[in-house]
Every structure is written in C-alpha cells, then in structure tokens.
Structure 1
C-alpha cells in the first residue's frame, strides 16, 4: 500500500531528516532587533534549499518591507484533490543566559533522547516535520495523495507584525482547503494533542518619573515622592487579593465554558500536584483560580503579569530615591474579550491611579486577539485518526495559555478554512528558555502522523 511505502521511506531516512534539523538549528536566526538580520536571511536561504532537496517546487523567498524573509514552496501535482497549506517558522528567540545552557545553544546536541538547541523544537522541528513527510511520500511512493503548499515565516518570534499585509498580498498563493500549523505543544510526552484555543495578548510599558536625576535618600527623602513606590502602588491596583484582574470592565466579556469543554478538561491526565510539579511551583505557594481546574484557568481565563520591572538595579543598589521606575505589563485575553478594549482600559486605569502628580509615560504594543475553533469539522476527525496512527495513542484537544500571533490572521484572511494546530513541543521543551530541547521520539511520531494525515485529509476533504 502507498502509505506503507511512505512510512518505509521515513524509517530508512529518519537519521538524515534529523541531520536536516541540526543544520537549521546551527543558524542563529534570532529575529529580535539588535541581532544579526543576515543570519535570519541565511536561515531562510537554508530552509529554501531544504525544501528543494526534499522535493518542493516553485521554492522562493517572499519578502515584504520591514520583515524577515518568508519561504514558500509547493507540490501541486494532484489535480482534483484537496490542497493543504503547511505552516512553520524559521526564526528563533535569543539564547538568553548562555552560561545557563549545558551545551552551545546553536550547536545541537543529543542527550538522553532529546535534541538540545535554540529552535530545535520551536519551530525548526516543525519545518522538518513538513519536509520529511513530503519527502517520504515523494521518494517512497512517487507522489502525494493531495496538493501541498508550505509557508515558513521569519518573524513569528517578534509578533508577526507584517503577517496580515503579507497574507493580503499573497492571498491567492496561500489558498487551500485546510491549514496545518506546526508550532504548538502536546499535553505531555507521548500524548498527541490538537490545540483549539489560544489566548491573545495585550502589553504596555509604563514609566513614571519624578526627578531629573536620582538623589540621596537621606538628604532629600521625605518631602519628595518616590517614583518606584508610586509605580508599585499603581501595579498593586491591577489585581484583587485572589489574583484576578481588578481593572473595571475587563472581565465582563469572558466566554463561559460549555459543559462538554469542562468535561474535556477534567478528563485530561494530571491534577493540581502534577501541574505544580510541571511548572516548578515552590512548596507552600498558593495556586490561584478560585477552585477552577488549573488548565481551565490557564487556557480560558484571562491573566495578568508584570513581565519586567526596573528601578536602578540590584547590582547598583544604593541609598537613593530613584528618578524613575519602569515596568512591562501583559494581559492574556480569552474568548470573547476585545483585546483593543482591554488595552484601552489598562492604559486608562494606569493613568488614573498614578499618584502624587508623577509624570507617566505609556508605550502600547499592538494587541493580538484570542483564537478559538470548533473541532467538529471533518478535517479534525481526520487529524485525530492520523495522530492515533502516528503515536499509537488517542489524541486529545487542548487549549494554550500562550499567544500565537499568526493563527488569527491566517484563519481570517484565508476564509475560515479549518486550521489544525499540531505541534511537537512538550512540557519539558522549555521553549524560549535556556536548554530548549526536542523529544526526538515524539518528533518521529509527529512525522509518521503527518504522513498519515496527508492520506486522511485527501480522503476526507475530497468527499466534501
């Protein structure tokens, strides 16, 4: 059978596919401002070469002003069959504290069944899932059971700011019957998962100032307000004693879970103790949420965090009244919250509670909205079947407490076609942190599942 031939090709080539991934990981394609943009372009070029080597045609770099390069390829040789659009991204986060890595972040190292390196999981593994599955069909069978397009983004880690205009410009090229976005996580190692809900994100930077320069806290302290204390007072008003958001009106539009959604969350393996262990919560520290299941609280309730705070520094601590204080505040939003409205309320609240006449400056980042999809579409049922075949275990639907900026623009601009979020990360990947890693066994299962998915979608979408 063709599927057996494709799977046999994968088994014979999986070590070569892993080398493909290592080659990409070695390129430090950090898309953040201040890092070498030439390395991101080098990554795009290497990705384009990989697409060509694995059988994609019409491979090209697609560029839009101000953005790192996208990479496009296609295999459109199945007339009358559905078309699948594959997505991943080739840019990565900065390495962070290099001294905290057990190996060079840009020299992939295999240890205890995991491949360590920046981008090894997020999301260069996703790229190679796509290229490997396509190669397995093309070289093992001679053809694909459906048509495939692939788009590899170069600015996902910095917010996908240019994605909407990019999709609008290339809308015709991106048209497909379904999308597979490989940049999410499994609920646990060995447990395949489809993500059906994402939180959106609102972030602002707030700075308060009271002095032209820092002054001696003994010589001048007392008559003058402390900007650091002022900012602390402001930030303290953002939450209630139970940790919930206290900004007026922000919680009014939260969509309640259905009974089926609650049952689905309750059926997942693990409990509060398991959640505490995974996140590394210290003994005695309370969990918030008013008795809700931790995954309901994480996936379907808004949250607020002070991402960073600065006033002088720990290294330079001395007896002063600082001239200013700065913080970055982030709110995760959920269905049916309006991200722009939440941002407006946050800014208005911070201005209103600024004490003592301190000068306040607020910088607003572009908000990104939440995303939610109904998994009843036949494409999801095809994905469940493919994942079970690839992993040998029934898949689950999960939410994600994080935000993936590209999903909502994709779903909107491409006409609402089903979007399947199927990833290769797991709770121990530590994406964005030091010692990011990929579970190689799960990555191989993900490729097998992708090989099955092409056949399942060809049959399912072809019947519609």
Structure 2
C-alpha cells in the first residue's frame, strides 16, 4: 500500500467532501429517543440516517449496499455492506461501528455557537454530535476508499450506524438478531465512539463501564401541608430519601455498598492505570474546573483512575418535587424524586445490580413511606480481549507512521452498549475501540467540538488497520 497516497487522499477527502456533509449532519437535531418521546413523529433520526446514507452512496465504493433498516417501533439504523477487495475475500468481516443520535443541547452555548449550528473555528468543528460521534461513518467510509485507492486490501466491511446509543442502545439486541445472517463471521470490530486524553496519539479503550439508572420517588403525603403544622409529625420525603441513599452509598467516602455492583479489579488493569499515570499524568486524571478550595476524592492519581474505570459510583443526575428556592414556600412537600445513575465496573452484571438496587430501596422503608422505582436504563460494561499478534504489530506501525508516538491504552468511565453485545456474540473477534473524542471535546455538554486534524489522523489509522487485518488473513 502506498502510504503517502493514502494520507493525501484522506486529507483531501476530509477537506472537500467530509466536512461539508458532516456539517449538514450537525444541523439535524437528531436527539436520542430516550430524550425525545416523539422522536418518530419528529423524524430527525430518520433524517440523519438518510443524510449519511446519501453521502455514502455517492462515494462510489464498488458494489457497496447502503440500507436503512427499521423495525417496528424501533429507532432506525444505517447498514453499509462493502465487499472485500479481490485479495481479501476469505478474511471474514470487519464491523465498523458508530452512532448518529445525539445528546440534547443541555445548557447555554457560547456566543456564535449552537447545538444545531455547524461552525468551524481554528481546526475545530463545533456542534452537537460532531465528536460524539457523527464523524464516525465518514471516517470509516473514507478509510475504505483510501485503502483501495492506495493499493491496499480490506476484508468485507460492514458499517453499522445506530440511532439509540445515547439512550443505552435498547434496540440493538433486536437488530443484531434481525441482521445476524447479514453480518457474517466478524473477526475485527472497529468502534469509533471512543477517544482519549490528547490529540497526539491513537488512544485505545481497554474497558468500558456499565450502568444502571433509575428514578426513585418517595411519597409521604397525598398533598403537601403547611410545614409549621406538619413538620415533626410527618417525616419529610427528603429525609426518607436520604436514609435510602445511605443504604446505597457511604456518605463520607462515596463507596457504593451494593455488593452486586462491586468486582475484583484485574491486576493488568491496575498496572495499566499505574503506567498511564506515570507516562501521561496530565491525561490520566482530567483537570476538571473545580471551585476554589474544592478537593478531589483522593490525592492518589492511580486510585482516581481506578475509581473512574473499575469501581462503581453513584451520581444524582436529576430531581423532582423540589421547587426553585426563590419560590419555595413553607410547605412540607408530599414527595421527592431523584434520578440515580450508577456507573458499574466493566465485568459487573448490570441486571443483577438492577434487581439488588430495587430490593434495597423498597425493603423495610423508613416510616412505611411509599417508594417507587422505575424508568430503568441497564447497560453492561466491556473488557477488551488480549491483542492478537498481527493487531499488536499493526498498532505499533500506526503509532510510528501516523502519529509519531506509540498508541496508549486506557479504561474509560463511560460505556458503549454495543461492545458488550458484540463481545458475547463474537468471542473470538479482535476489538479496536478508539476515536477522535478528546478529553476537552465537551461531549454531552455545551460547545461540543471535533478536532479536525486529529479526526483525519484517526481515519488514516483505521485505514492502516483494515489493510493489516486483510493481510493477516482475518486472524483472531
């Protein structure tokens, strides 16, 4: 393969073809179904899929098939099937994954920026879904084109872009069953929904946490009453909620007490965390915008990495029944509702954790208060398999040829449901979970942006891996 030709074609494609279409994708408000109950009526998810389908179909990949697949009542997905190059017809299937659904706007964006407004400034493409991860389908398609144009090889490649990842991918199990005969024998999975701590090297995700989310409501009264009359007689719903939370989490240390959410940390991941801290201390633990005087959970960076990747944590991400302080009257409120979000270790059983959580919250409730637990989101984590020799060698070459620095592995505190599903379905497959998302790319919050030169390099890296996989004969 002509590496110089590969690089030049990818750079040219991004400048002239990818960015205009990707900008158009940013402008589609394709909010994930979990945040838009009327998503089907609004049609934005379908519009996003059709937008990318049209672009991929226009690229002229030989005999490529671009299908929009939608089961009844489920969010659509785009499936692109690209036949192997002549010399790699017997090397199995490469499955390339990304998603087209987006988080909601969530807050005020900076002046001149907006969630559905594509703006390019200083090598950055701003807009919701730019980095997480609307670029993925464009990068995968461009990599396939470039491999062919530079004289390289690639196995049969299937690009799968779903529209429910930000909602926990609830429809993917059904789609995997539906598409089972079309995916073939997958020997390599390339997921472009990841990223890392800087834009200087390819970052590989070694593990992903799972999650259990639930809405918990404590009810103590049919209606609110005057606090001067009711307090001291009726326990506040907030106090009952606080006691229940103490069953789940140590209020002093933050340690999660639910046994089903705790697993032993593998020694290789402890070693990886220590290496990450030693080699990339500025990346290992992001420097979040703490308020003056605020301290982190620990002064030990290795422990902080493990907290974020292999230990369960609880965040309260929403509340109901609590009026704004400016208009809060002297009322003993009838109910309090909280949205609980647990991040689980990669190897924890999320369903077992959900069952345990519900039991803890509804058994022997203080004062006999009424507790409702529902609106669950359950997602298993994922732990990467050991790299095959061909893939380890290819990643070293990517580090040398594309970035000039070695690749780096690290665990991620977030999750990608599809990886665990694929890991169970294709236990012999190799996995590369990577991407252009940086630690400061503002995914899920205002001013999300994609580092364009880095995305171009990630595209080149994927092209090298496709060629190496084909030349290795698709070995697991």
TM-score of the two chains, using structure 2 as the length reference:
0.90
Match of 2:348 among 337, 346, 353: 337
Supply the distance in 2 between the matched residues of 1:336 and 1:30 (Cα, whole angstroms): 29
1:263–1:461 distance in 2 versus 1, CA, 3 Å: farther
Residues 306-355 of structure 1: CA deviation (Å, up to 9, x unaligned): 12222332153111111100011122111442222222222222223632
Mapping of residues 2-13 of structure 1, within 5 Å? 2-13=2-13
Deviation at 1:415, TM superposition (A): 4.2
Uncovered stretches (5+) of structure 1, i.e. residues with no partner: none
Deviation at 1:207, TM superposition (A): 0.3
Q: Is the 8 A contact 2:109 2:447 kept in 1?
A: no
Q: Is the 8 A contact 2:140 2:462 kept in 1?
A: yes
> Does residue 189 of structure 1 match 2:196?
no
> Does residue 311 of structure 1 match 2:321?
yes
Supply the distance in 1 between the matched residues of 2:328 and 2:37 (Cα, whole angstroms): 28
Task: Tell me which residue corresponds to 1:455.
Answer: 467
Residues 342-377 of structure 1: CA deviation (Å, up to 9, x unaligned): 222222222236322211111151421121013332
Supply the distance in 2 between the matched residues of 1:431 and 1:399 (Cα, whole angstroms): 17
Q: Is the 8 A contact 1:242 1:290 kept in 2?
A: no
Task: Tell me which residue corresponds to 1:59.
Answer: 66
1:47–1:391 distance in 2 versus 1, CA, 3 Å: same
TM-score of the two chains, using structure 1 as the length reference:
0.92
Deviation at 1:125, TM superposition (A): 1.3
> Does residue 50 of structure 1 match 2:55?
yes
Task: Tell me which residue corresponds to 1:434.
Answer: 446
Further displaced range: 235-244 or 433-442: 235-244
Task: Tell me which residue corresponds to 1:97.
Answer: 107
Residues 257-305 of structure 1: CA deviation (Å, up to 9, x unaligned): 3364344333341169x8362x222333232258443212211111111
SS at match of 1:312: coil
1:160–1:335 distance in 2 versus 1, CA, 3 Å: closer
Mapping of residues 8-407 of structure 1, within 5 Å? 8-16=8-16, 17-32=18-33, 33-37=36-40, 38-56=43-61, 57-78=64-85, 79-98=89-108, 102-138=112-148, 140-141=149-150, 144-175=153-184, 176-250=186-260, 253-258=263-268, 260-270=271-281, 275=285, 277=287, 279-288=288-297, 291=300, 292-314=302-324, 315-352=326-363, 354-363=365-374, 365-378=376-389, 380-381=391-392, 382-407=394-419
1:242–1:460 distance in 2 versus 1, CA, 3 Å: farther
SS at match of 1:121: helix
The alignment's C-alpha RMSD in Å is: 2.4
Uncovered stretches (5+) of structure 2, i.e. residues with no partner: none
Residues 96-120 of structure 1: CA deviation (Å, up to 9, x unaligned): 2245564121121012321100001
Supply the distance in 2 between the matched residues of 1:406 and 1:39 (Cα, whole angstroms): 22
Q: Is the 8 A contact 2:95 2:160 kept in 1?
A: yes
